[in-house]
Structure 1
Amino acid sequence: MNMFLQFLVILILLFNISILLRLWYESRNLRKSAHVDIVDVHQIKFKYYLKQFNKKYYAYEYNMRLQNFKVSLSKIARMNALEGYPVFGLTQFSDMSEQELADHVGIKPEEKECRALNITCDYTHSRKTNNDWIKCSDSNADIPDKCDWRKKGVIGKIRDQKECLDCWAFSIVGLMESMAAIQGVSHKTFSVQELLDCSLLYNGCFRGRVDSALNYLCNTEQGIVSEDQYPLTVIRRYGGRYEVPVNGVRIKQYWHQCNMKESDILRLVAHHGPVAVVVNEAPLYHYVGGIIRRACVRGKDSIDHVVQIVGFDLTGIIPYYIVRNSWGTHYGDNGYVKLAINYNVCGLADEVTALTVEMSR
């Protein structure tokens, strides 16, 4: 009898051990299949991304781009968690590495110190300008509730700087176009390419600075001609492709201010016109729409991209600036970004530039 009981106990123990082994084996397989499913999801998303943005890679580069894509997915999730709703998503930059994105910045890293300037260009023959400027708002308020210079027909088309690090040139010429229209000087689209080619001291496609380029335009009395006369190629041609005509628009006066109060920025945009600002571009790579409030901060070495504030809206729950970028119409909100007001989002108040223009002849 005792032997039978011992035998029965041994059978029960073996049965329990077999159950435990089976559970362990099934658990291990489940973990493996779950890991495969995650990898497959990333692969599926990446393949859809490549199709959406018309990209194609082979062998090693495909795997490298896939890893970059996974990093971007993590960043997007973190930034959207900070915002509390989807503001960031997949863009043309989502398969680029950290180094590639760092190389995409447009401001010269060794010259990031802001210099406050208020310069009137000393031309031999200065032109009279029209004092009957277009107004952004019919309101006489110190700061109106809304201002959108696009609705006044003074903001040019969205351009794409592509691989050229010339955001500074796009923003300067963009301001010149807008101010020429506001001041009643001209309603033409002006040549970014001319400024890119001719300002030899300021590195063209290899980064530059707004204040340095404005100083160049002021000192040389350089007039910027229309884009029809000097077409955009976004490839730097040293010294210009041909002799530049003199019948363009030129800078009359410019202001480059540091650490401005945002209330002063709003007044400037409302009562003067669009302004250029320098921002942290890293979070902007993944922007797809909505208002950025929390996920774009400033830092000493992160203010590296020039954009234009072309309006604002104070009527909503989250007041915001209307920001014109130079990454094409397929980017963001048809080429634009919305940044929240009063938080120095992306460091936009750190460097602010405004200007006036006149015809060079």
Structure 2
Amino acid sequence: MSEVIEMILIIIIVTLCFLMIPFNLQPNAVIEARKKFDIFIRLYDKPYRHNMREYDRRFQIFRSSLNKIAFLNVHRMENDTAIYGITQYADLTDQEFLQWNLSVLKHQMGPGQILQEKITPLDKFIIESSSAEMKDAIIFTRAKRSLQISDYLPKVVDWREKNVVPAVKSQGNCGACWAISVMDTISSLSTIKKKQPNVTDLCIDQVINCAGNGNYGCDGGDTCRLLEWLQNEQIVLNTLSDCPTTLSTENNPACKFGKVNEQKFLTVGSFSCVSLVDREHLMLRYLATRGPIVAAVNAISWQYYLGGIVQYHCEGRYEDLNHAVEIVGYNLESNIPYYWVKNSWGTTFGDHGYIKIEIGKNLCGIANRVSFIELV
């Protein structure tokens, strides 16, 4: 009897020992995250690799990014749907990403400026856009019907195949998306209109450093105000090969441009700055018959974009617009119809510098503020 009791006690003690050991067959989440982070900082050559304090701070942000990425992929039910993952921005907070890569695409008065009584075309647009929801409610049913694609429109349009789309740019730490998107679109439209065999890059620095009308260079600008400036001043644009040196003084840049051949590039004759919410068929029509267009977007959720078609997690409110892009085509044959959108964060972003956005839902605010450009 005593032997049986002794055996039971031994079994109980051994069982308790196993229960007290933190036994886990799953890999430690922190260890796995750190392995990914170490690969990440080597891959993108992050400068804080040997700075332990900054390393630890960025690692915590990186772990938070991993959770966000998992959330973004929850709705991924189809192979075509956007997929999110670790990108070069995975060690940035939302605020840092917004500050370094995006900006608010609305007019802001510069130092010393006072409010003028004269209302410019952009001010008029901003005023009108505030009542867009009311107007959309009135025409909602008709607009939804009109989104049905006309038979005469091609099912697939990609202006890159015509060699009229400039290469993807990288704006770096310069908030120049407003200039890059407009200048690249003008370059495309000029090539199409003049029936040239290949596209020629324009001198984007000419606009970044010299555009007036409420634009502030690398500190931000506005596509509509830029187009208004180009039109009013009848600016003759330099090609990249003729790009002059921009001299800077201590206080402000002094723009110096040599004489340019006015036949090289056309000037801006007219442009639109309109809301096409629930009327995206007009965007498709222009893309099919005229060429690329400029759009303001909300790109805050693009921080982790790897590829696929954006269908979720991209708010479309006008007040959230913070980036400018060039739309170069569309695909209506895909299970999920989408736009081809050229970004300005280099070719390592998304699909070789491009992002696909579903058509017809004003995703990322892509239809809130659209510019069609006519050259003369």
- TM-score, length of structure 1 as denominator length: 0.81
Which of 317, 320, 343 is equivalent to 1:299?
A: 317
User: d(CA) in 1 for partners of 2:181 and 2:14?
Assistant: 70
Q: Hey, what's the Cα distance between the residues in 2 that align with 1:222 and 1:176? A: 12
Query: Are residue 68 (structure 1) and residue 65 (structure 2) matched?
Result: no
> Mean alpha-carbon deviation: is it higher for 183-192 or for 210-219?
183-192
Partner residue in 1 for 2:87:
91
Distance 1:268 1:225, change over 3 A: same
- Written as runs of structure 1 = structure 2, the 5 A alignment for 1:275-294 is 275-294=293-312
Written as runs of structure 1 = structure 2, the 5 A alignment for 1:192-203 is 192-200=204-212, 201-203=214-216
The reply to whether residue 101 of structure 1 matches residue 115 of structure 2 is no
Count how many residue pairs are aligned between Structure 1 and Structure 2.
Answer: 326
Counterpart CA distance in 2 for 1:65 and 1:319 is 38
> Out of 138, 147, 150, which is 2:160 matched to?
150
From 40, 43, 62, the equivalent of 1:49 is 40
For residues 249-268 of structure 1, what are the structure 2 equivalents within 5 Å? Answer: 249=265, 250-260=267-277, 261-268=279-286
1:116–1:256: 8 Å Cα contact kept in structure 2? no
Question: Can you list the C-alpha shifts for 1:47-101, whole angstroms capped at 9, x where unaligned?
Answer: 1112222324121111121112112211221112223256112211111112211
CA distance, structure 2, for counterparts of residue 223 and residue 242 of structure 1: 13
Change in Cα spacing, 1:152 to 1:73, as seen in structure 2 (3 Å) is same
1:82 pairs with 2:75: yes
CA contact (8 A) 1:106 1:166 kept: no
CA contact 1:83–1:294 (8 Å) conserved in 2: no
Relative to structure 1, the CA distance from residue 231 to residue 155 in structure 2 (aligned partners, 3 Å threshold; closer, same or farther) is farther
Paired position in structure 1 for 2:17: 22
CA deviation after TM superposition for structure 1 residue 34, in Å: 5.5
* Separation in 2, partners of 1:177, 1:284: 26
In 1, Cα distance between equivalents of 2:308 and 2:291: 24
| Cα separation, 1, equivalents of 2:97 and 2:256 | 33
Write the letter of the residue equivalent to 2:342: R
Aligned with 1:82: secondary structure?
Answer: coil
- Whole-Å separation in 2 of the counterparts to 1:172 and 1:77: 35
- Unmatched 5+ stretches in structure 1: 118-139
Q: Could you say if the C-alpha distance between residues 80 and 196 of structure 1 is closer, same or farther in structure 2, counting changes exceeding 3 Å?
A: same
Moved more, 245-254 or 159-168: 245-254
> What is the CA RMSD across the aligned residues, in angstroms?
3.0
Q: CA deviation at 1:315?
A: 1.0
AA matched with 2:45: N
282-291 or 81-90, larger mean C-alpha shift? 81-90
Cross-structure match for 2:177: 167
The 3 A distance-change label for structure 1 pair 66 and 196 is: same
**1:335-350 mapped onto 2 (5 Å cutoff):** 335-350=353-368
Q: Does structure 1 retain, via aligned residues, the 8 Å contact 2:174–2:219?
A: yes
Deviation per CA, 1:148-182: give whole Å up to 9, x if none: 11111111111110011110100110111011111
Contact 2:185 2:292 in 1 (8 A): yes
CA distance in 2, matches of 1:147, 1:238: 43
- Counterpart residue number, 1:213: 226
Q: Any idea what SS the aligned residue of 1:94 has?
A: coil
Task: Give TM-score scaled by structure 2 length.
Answer: 0.78
- Per the alignment, in what secondary structure is the counterpart of residue 284 of structure 2? helix
Larger-Rg structure = 1
**How far 1:14 sits from its partner (Å)?**
5.2
Unaligned runs of 5+ in 2: 109-121, 128-149
Secondary structure of 2:83's aligned partner: coil
